[in-house]
Amino acid sequence: MDVVSEAGQYLPEQSQGARKKLYSTLRVIIRPPFMLNLDAATILSRIIILVIAFTVHEFAHAFVANAFGDDTPRLNGRLTLNPISHLDPMGSLLLVVAGFGWAKPVPINPYALKQRSRSAVMWVSLAGPLSNLVMAIVAILPVRFGLVSLYSAPGGILPSPIEFIVEFVSINLLLFVFNLLPISPLDGEKVIEFFIPASATAFFDRIRPYGPMILLVVVFVLPYLGINVIGEMLQFIARIFFSVFLG
């Protein structure tokens, strides 16, 4: 069934098909393990997407810090889109083997930033997650305007365009939501600290040493107890995202 008119107009069937594929992928992504029991095309696309997403995310931190006058990222070679400068060896290895990983955090000088603006640290922290949201928006536009076929041939080693786009959008939405969790060492901690009273920051100071442990519980333990915090947040953001960009 054709879903794009001769003028290239986006029709409702395209929206429904894209929305169904995206929701299906989101349901899989928010349930670990992230890379088990997947076909070669999906594994390949997820590795490529995560390398792109991590690189742009960290570059965004460096770019905004530099814009606020902190040259620490530039002096450390982080003001670049070269993935080698941003990928952590152990995080990259785990990304391939286990399906989760991390990039090297961008070094900044918070004192230099705060001298320029009280909100500078917040904007530097927010830049990373926002870059993931922007990438998701850019990726969904070809689907929104009917420029990409929803058909995907099964069994190939390389992902079809729609498969890659669906994975790209889903993973970047996940990274947007995940990194905004107010748990150290995630970006969301610095973002929320800007908006809460100074007296309340003492709470975050006390729990900061336990942040990685709390994060492991949220990501790996709570979902198996039926409490999927990240999944619920992602579904909420996804509903808004799809209603805006897919109609």
CB neighbours (10 Å) of residue 191? 19
DSSP per-residue codes, 19-73: HHHHHHHHHHHTSS-SSTT--HHHHHHHHHHHHHHHHHHHHHHHHHHHHTT--HH
CA–CA dist 169, 18 (Å, integer): 11
Residue 161 one-letter amino acid = P
Q: Show Cβ contacts of residue 147 under 8 Å, excluding neighbours closer than 6 positions.
A: 8
| β-bridge partners, 4 | 10
| β-bridge partners, 87 | 103
Residue 55 tokens read as 């690189």
CB neighbours (10 Å) of residue 153? 9
Asked if 246 and 140 count as a contact pair (C-beta separation under 8 A), the reply is: yes
CA–CA dist 14, 114 (Å, integer): 47
Q: How far is CA 167 from CA 112, 184, 206, 231, in A?
A: 38, 27, 37, 16
State yes or no: is 167 an active-site residue.
no
Spot the catalytic one: 6, 58, 189, 193: 58
| β-bridge partners, 227 | none
Residues recognised as catalytic: 58
